[in-house]
Structure 1
């Protein structure tokens, strides 16, 4: 049957239902829907209707409600936890966790909230690993062009690009003791034993955290992660193998917008 995965918050003891095999939901928009849980909105959220918000409250989650927590995409063959990520006093096994966790609903957040203002696509977002103090910029990940199916930096979509921050997230937080991920990527262990699994994560606007990133010495790993997710997409047939990975022609300025600032070559 294959291995099924759930998206889980270890601190809140919440999780989605099992969403299917990783390779089945990785490309269908599910990852973008779920990254909202760790993304802090740019402004106050506006609800679309009282009925929807009342329904949402019963499920205990809203966009940004998981930001800063320990996040994992847990496979149902997992027998162990990532080493050193859980408190010594936590004796709950992965199997026990999946049986006792509070299940959240997974309906698209745009049914309940007006997301366009809260999550503008013309601003630069950063996926941050708070545990490791590393981050990935949304404008540094080339996305598939609508016109010619080439990779481009000119069709920036915030954190909703394809490939984009959501794909990098799920390729780094998945966890199991079995390496079956239903993907053609030849480094299946690299995904199944995700280096960020159970780390504290969030997604923020670059201009809101830029000074913190500089002051505290965070490391920008955008180019490394962009190239890696490109390889995942190519090997899975989501990007044509003849489509070369383009060098990044621009980076974000201090205002957090996509600016024409060319990367200096050494």
Structure 2
């Protein structure tokens, strides 16, 4: 039976819609970007102090402005940093930075951390890819307590969801209802490097000045190269997907069809999102669009907590702990699903589509 699926982090009351069935999500090129959002939901980005800011103004010669005759510059650097930290909107931070070379040098790392804060918001959260045919009281083990489940099924919640308006008997709340605004909110991502967001932000900030001569004559547009994807997710280090609930991990090089397909936490072709999705789906009805695989809608990892992090950080953080590398097991599952779709030469087919 056809059903559409949605990613939910029910305890965080957040969701991301696919509005598609599993076959479309896993195999259709038009949905690749939506599927890759799962990387940005789970991958923990670098903070500004963990990287090098590349800018002609980001040098020590601008770190001391206490001799300036202008009042605000006479304040200690720590106060300036506090002011930037209090600016919640990236536009305000950028606009203040554009007033001087010195402020721009302070704005760059602050802007990095503000955008990094929008990345990896579901790292450590319990997540499920839930089908719209899931029945009431059908939840992955350990996702909610009995008391929490009872609390969802209140008359006011059913009324807000409009459950029962067209039924003789009130329709109970299901896990799929966490994908609507009454029970949750759409998860926003701060992928500043996508499209023309950087240029549009800069133009809006410059145009906010009544007098454009107040904008310092510097290279701010060039400096926005500091906010490309690889600045948050370096590509020169291996990454791992971690199941924090079961203490299992999957290595990027073990699932990539070619080493050159690995781009930090993103992997062209088969990547971490495919691994997660093949194991976190949940529905009361078997899936009919992927070769009749029943177990895919009773995912062994449904409702678990995950993150995607650098292998070096994983090793450092888990010293003395026991973690299991399940890369081979996961790749066997992926092979089984893709072979049902494309046949025994599925890897060649996927590689051909990528390199086309």
TM category (shorter chain) comes to 0.7 to 0.9
**SS across alignment from 2:130:** strand
Distance 1:86 1:240, change over 3 A: same
Partner of 1:83: 141
Out of 283, 293, 312, the position equivalent to 1:207 is 312
Out of 217, 221, 237, the position equivalent to 2:326 is 221
Out of 175, 192, 196, the position equivalent to 1:94 is 175
Partner of 1:174: 281
Q: CA deviation at 1:158?
A: 2.9
Distance 1:103 1:140, change over 3 A: same
Counterpart CA distance in 2 for 1:90 and 1:15 is: 19
Poorly superposed stretches of 4+, deviation over 3 Å: 43-46, 105-108, 211-214, 241-244
Deviates more, 1:23-32 or 1:188-197: 23-32
- TM-score, normalised to structure 2's length? 0.56
Partner of 1:140: 254
Partner of 2:45: 41
Counterpart CA distance in 2 for 1:21 and 1:242 is: 22
Distance 1:62 1:242, change over 3 A: closer
Out of 183, 187, 199, the position equivalent to 2:290 is 183
Q: Is residue 33–residue 108 contact of structure 1 (8 Å, CA) maintained in 2?
A: no
Q: Is residue 82–residue 197 contact of structure 1 (8 Å, CA) maintained in 2?
A: yes
Gap runs ≥5 in structure 2: 54-89, 95-116, 153-173, 198-226, 350-356
Counterpart CA distance in 2 for 1:140 and 1:180 is: 27
- TM-score, normalised to structure 1's length? 0.74
The reply on whether 1:32 has 2:114 as its aligned counterpart is no
Deviates more, 1:31-40 or 1:108-117: 108-117
State the number of aligned residues.
224
Q: Is residue 41–residue 121 contact of structure 2 (8 Å, CA) maintained in 1?
A: yes
Gap runs ≥5 in structure 1: 54-60, 144-151, 245-266
What are the Cα deviations for residues 190-219 of structure 1, in whole angstroms up to 9, with x where unaligned? 211111111111111111111334521011
The structure carrying a bigger helix percent of its residues is: 2
Q: Is residue 123–residue 205 contact of structure 1 (8 Å, CA) maintained in 2?
A: yes
Q: Is residue 21–residue 181 contact of structure 1 (8 Å, CA) maintained in 2?
A: no
Q: Is residue 7–residue 16 contact of structure 1 (8 Å, CA) maintained in 2?
A: yes
Which is higher, the Rg of structure 1 or of structure 2? 2
Counterpart CA distance in 2 for 1:62 and 1:68 is: 14
Distance 1:141 1:2, change over 3 A: same
Counterpart CA distance in 2 for 1:160 and 1:239 is: 25
1:220-239 to 2 correspondences below 5 Å: 220-237=325-342
Deviates more, 1:205-214 or 1:134-143: 205-214
